[in-house]
Amino acid sequence: MSKLKPNSSTTVRALIEVSITPQKDVGFDSIAERIYSYPQVESCYLVSGGYDLLVVVEGENIHTVADFVAAKLSSMANVRQTATHFLLRKYKEEGRILKHPKSQYRPNIS
């Protein structure tokens, strides 16, 4: 699978909360390394709160991201739970406010 270009209008980006069971003597590092090795994974963070990892994934469409989560991520040993949040619209990114025309634009998520 080829790496998708960031910010391409044909890609879908999702934030995935991942709850995992840490492994003895290596904690979260080993499973995080397995997760961030997939080409679909743009970023992977260890976070505090209700889940352990925040994973940013890009795919060609909503179905390819969902397939990645179902086939690769959620079936991985030590992954207890995932919650996927698809990005629908960007308002501000990396300190830049992104202006949108005043229209009835609605992103297609199906």
Distance CA 38, CA 1 (A): 10
Q: What is the 3-state secondary structure (H, E, C) of 89-106?
A: CCCEECCEECCCCCCCCC
pLDDT of residue 99: 83
Query: Which amino acid does the sequence have at 93?
Result: E
pLDDT digits (tens, 9 = 90+) for 50-90: 999 999 999 999 999 999 999 999 999 999 999 999 999 98
Phi, psi of 67 (to 5 degrees): -65, -40
106: tokens are 């609605």
Distance CA 65, CA 11 (A): 10
| Topology of the domain comprising 12-88 | Alpha-Beta Plaits (3.30.70)
Q: Where are the domains of the chain?
A: 12-88
